[in-house]
Amino acid sequence: MQMGDNHRCAWASAAPDFPDYHDTEWGFPIDDDRRLFEKLCLETFQSGLSWRTILTKRENFRCAFQHFDFNKVALFSGKDVEALLDNKGIVRNKRKILAVINNAKRALEMIEKEGSLAAFLWRYEPDESTLPPPETQTTCEESVALSKELKKRGWQFVGPTTLYAFMQSMGLINDHAEDCFMREEINKARKGFERPS
């Protein structure tokens, strides 16, 4: 797909709402804990489904999960779970819903121990010189290591492929295609980004 003389990543033409997501969100580095948690949750729901399904329901997910405020989600009760299972605007998968509530509790533990989610997650940013060409893999050494560590800390639905997709979208990796006009934009954003500590 083209935008003027600019090429986008091939996947960006797969659905009507993808170009805007591709051009304004995907790959920009993020250090906001709530946004990082939201993306981890949405990747949980996306497991086994298409990203298009999740993106079209994203606003519904935000309303259903208190805009992914992990302080609030950690307090969800059985009654809240039942309400979510009745909510036709989201993916009604009980295991995934319970995983998000569990992960909100784990997020609070992590913030207490590490200072922030961002500080912990950005420790797993891969060295770009070690990565293969863009769009050629679905995991990396760091996503495997992060998966192991999160599982050890009690997180659920955090496999290496899920976490690689998270890294791509949250800017820990620039996986825009070599000829994509956004690749250089993301490189600039990553260069100017102050890594959380």
DSSP state letters, 75-107: T--HHHHHHHHT-TTS---HHHHHHHHHHHHHH
7: part of which helix (H) or strand (E)?
strand 6-7
Q: How far is CA 65 from the centre of its chain?
A: 15
Residue 121's contacts (CB-CB under 8 Å, 6 or more residues apart) are: 36, 146, 170, 172
Whether 4 has a pLDDT exceeding 90, the answer reads no
Q: pLDDT of 160-169, one tens digit each?
A: 999 999 999 9
| Predicted pLDDT of residue 50 | 93
Q: Which of 11, 21, 25, 149 is catalytic?
A: 21
pLDDT at 3: 42
Catalytic residue among 26, 51, 155, 164: 51
Known catalytic residue: 43? yes
d(CA 163, CA 15): 23
Q: Would you place residue 6 in the very low, low, confident or very high pLDDT band (cuts 50, 70, 90)?
A: confident
**The model's pTM:** 0.95
Q: Cα–Cα distance between 65 and 110 in angstroms, integer?
A: 20
pLDDT one-digit tens code per residue, 147-159? 999 999 999 999 9
Residue 88 structure tokens:
């036709």
For residue range 94-133, what is the model confidence (pLDDT) as tens digits?
999 999 999 999 999 999 999 999 999 999 999 988 888 8
21 classed as catalytic: yes
On the question of pLDDT at 176 being above 60, the answer is yes
